[in-house]
A and B are shown apart, each in its own frame.
Chain A
Amino acid sequence: NAGVTQTPKFRVLKTGQSMTLLCAQDMNHEYMYWYRQDPGMGLRLIHYSVGEGTTAKGEVPDGYNVSRLKKQNFLLGLESAAPSQTSVYFCASSLREFHGELFFGEGSRLTVL
């Protein structure tokens, strides 16, 4: 049982480059989320989705886009990466009824030079 899988685990980008982080879950969870974790800032919600084909903005959505074309996948895109987006990104999922009990992926460390 893989749970929540994020790819890639590590990535280095140059300013202005684009990339997509992929999150896949095999637990049939309705809700999926993208968080970023920065030193001293805790976890901040970027975007989330409450079901296939739906997305919503979190606390810090600027500079990111997301898509949820399939229930099991949630993609996070950076169209033009900036150094401020250097962070560790976590994907998570949950059942609708237990929307606070999140299952997290292992994280993706992104560095923007």
Chain B
Amino acid sequence: SAVISQKPSRDICQRGTSLTIQCQVDSQVTMMFWYRQQPGQSLTLIATANQGSEATYESGFVIDKFPISRPNLTFSTLTVSNMSPEDSSIYLCSVEEGRAKNIQYFGAGTRLSVL
């Protein structure tokens, strides 16, 4: 199974600032995903990031607020821009391994608190 490293594991940020979250995978993968888990809620997909193309955002999420980079097949970043307390969540990176019958694997997540 893929091993996913996310940085930072947690952060406390001030309103109006931005935070970039990094996701590193130990193998080359085509599809990477970014999810948000708000307190007491389930996971919601923010966007799908494929190498060499623009990220595809889900309804309710926009590139200006959550810009994503995918420079190669093992790395991606998600930036949470102009943060407000409503952005306090766990952000998770995920990859899909087609060889393993389309199983999705997740990183440990980034716990973000915005004051």
Partners in one complex: no
Which residues of A are interface residues toward B (Cβ below 8 A)? none
Contact surface of B with A, Cβ cutoff 8 Å: none
